[in-house]
Chains A and B, each alone.
Chain A
Amino acid sequence: MSSLIKKTAAELGELIAAGQTSALEVTREHLDQISKVDGRVHAFLHVDVEGALAAAKAVDARRAAGEKLGPLAGVPIAVKDVVTTKGLPTTAGSKILEGWVPPYDATLVERLKDAGTVILGKTNMDEFAMGSSTEYSAYGPTFNPWDLTRIPGGSGGGSSAALAAYEAPLSIGTDTGGSIRQPGAVTGTVGAKPTYGGTSRYGLIAFSSSLDTPGPCARTVLDAALLHEVIAGHDPRDSTSIPAPVSPVVAAARQGMSGDLTGVKLGLVKEFMSAEGAEPGVVAAFHAAVESLTKLGAEIVEISCPNFVYALPTYYLIAPSECSSNLARFDGVRYGLRVGDNGVNSLEEVMSLTREAGFGPEVKRRIMVGTYALSSGYYDAYYGQAQKVRTLITRDFQAAFEKVDALISPTTPFVAFQLGARTADPSSMYLADLYTIPSNLYGGPAISVPCGLSEGLPVGLQVMAPTLADDRMYRVAAALESTIGTLTPPEL
């Protein structure tokens, strides 16, 4: 294996900027790795060889012309297939968008291009980001590089698996209930969900508008912070984008790397620790990590967030409700699949046949749950009540952050499970997001960082911070990383 693909994005950026290697060389090595391993991992739905090489050459030309390059110029990146890329197929993991080529770039893709990153292609995901295992992709599952019989988490399994398989040093994920952090945890990589409104949703194919948050995936905390800085910041095309400066996440990550957490108060959420279903190995790895954090100088405090136990049902009302509306546009009229247009069927029939054929079972299930929760007569008891409980969960967070700087928990209750283990029972799959969902409901940032192994598989620790204090979680995560180190998956 070549040395370049094992380097961090920060290192690659420095080497390219210093002319010690070229963007083209770096890109070629990653493309080689993709062709070598992706047949087994299936992290990618689409690899843009020509586009990547062209982008890399452009960066090299800029350097040759004497231009000073940014920290990630020439660094390859993989983008979750739920984000629009002009001229590159974008499917959201669904048959209903098979072959669709967006005529526009998402804001974050524009920013990636402006920063000189090299887009390698689009990564696999659960259809419309609904799932926790990437088994609900219409294009077949992604396999966890740690154990190819296991799931890579979801919905952004492709983005995290690509990192663990050294196919890319950076990737973009989107997190609605944990879809960046949970795959990060089970693939032994880093995944950060920024503050809602801190990264633009323009061009992110909506699942649940009030929860969806694009964010960075990487193998190190510093790399995640570097990518965070590139994609974050106000976007006038997204009305929910926050018009405030991005917190100094890169500086915070560097500060954390020094390994000092003196004066930092971290809260353990009592209701999480007593929740059923967490695997003993996960709990053990987490407690060992808490021990490490204490050694770094952090103070650990137990905190009660009584409404966190309602986060899962609240989420599984809000997200399906919004998705039932967001996915209405996939009707076979303006783009995507059309089924049953035989000259006899009416438009109504064609729409219904198209959606029936184009959506997988999990998507249909959620559309129907959401349709139910919003319908007159049920709204108040379901969607309306969920919004009120969301307020209470937010208040729990706000109260907790009066007492502590950040909250910590395991990222997910279990390590990567076997493919097929949870698809038969949808609600058992939903448990994967038990610890990640509260931050989405609250809107604050949260990051998953590797904290050890259980049965030879990665375990992630989650750091949750107050709204707009994204820097805080980077500091804690980087400190933990400095003492535990990054995890190295087996050779593929």
Chain B
Amino acid sequence: MTAISREEVAHLARLARLAVTDEELDMFAGQLDVILQSVARVGEVAAEDIPPTSHSVPLTNVFRPDEPRPGLTRAAALAGAPDSAEDRFRVPRILDEEE
């Protein structure tokens, strides 16, 4: 496995919305490198034809009836908000549209 670069760490931090500092970039680049090399050991196992396990419980078709139930009051919903206005959650200006 190739070593992870400072730029890659910066890219990951952007994807994960972490405003990491320069010192952190250096620190994480080193640590992630060690961690990723050690976890890459899973690649040693020949598992091509093995089905992946995403859930350890053998359950399927867990559904709920389409019946409305009371949720939170608006006051309770907004109580934890860092900022709100006009009964809505207020956020700073949004840069660009995503889908």
Judged by CB atoms under 8 Å, the answer to whether A and B touch is: yes
A210 to B59, CA, bound (A): 13
A382 to B1, CA, bound (A): 11
A361 to B27, CA, bound (A): 10
A315, chain B: closest CB distance, angstroms: 9
- How large, as a class, is the contact surface on chain A? 35 or more
Is A334 touching B53 in the complex (CB atoms < 8 A)?
A: no
A66 to B4, CA, bound (A): 67
| Set of chain B residues within 8 Å of A392, measured between Cβ atoms | 45, 47, 50
From 33 to 80 in chain B, residues with beta carbon under 8 angstroms from any chain A beta carbon are 34-36, 38-45, 47, 50-57, 59, 62, 64, 72, 76-77, 79-80
- How large, as a class, is the contact surface on chain B? 35 or more
A242 to B56, CA, bound (A): 11
Find the A residue at minimum CB distance from B73. A103
A240, chain B: closest CB distance, angstroms: 5
Find the B residue at minimum CB distance from A198. B57
Is B42 touching A310 in the complex (CB atoms < 8 A)?
A: yes
Is A443 touching B57 in the complex (CB atoms < 8 A)?
A: yes
Q: Mark B1-22, 1 if CB is under 8 A from A, else 0.
A: 0001000110011111111110
A240 to B54, CA, bound (A): 12
A346 partner, pick from B41, B77, B81, B92, beta carbons under 8 A: B92
| Set of chain B residues within 8 Å of A389, measured between Cβ atoms | 42, 45, 47, 50
Is A427 touching B38 in the complex (CB atoms < 8 A)?
A: yes
A384 to B77, CA, bound (A): 37
| Set of chain A residues within 8 Å of B91, measured between Cβ atoms | 333, 347, 350
Is B80 touching A334 in the complex (CB atoms < 8 A)?
A: yes
| Set of chain B residues within 8 Å of A253, measured between Cβ atoms | none
B44, chain A: closest CB distance, angstroms: 8
A384-B52 CB under 8 A given contacts A197-B57, A335-B80, A336-B82: yes
Q: With A341-B83, A367-B16 given, can you name 16 additional A-B contacts, CB distance below 8 Å?
A: A103-B80, A239-B62, A310-B41, A310-B45, A313-B41, A347-B94, A347-B95, A353-B19, A361-B24, A361-B27, A364-B18, A364-B28, A372-B36, A386-B39, A391-B52, A467-B56
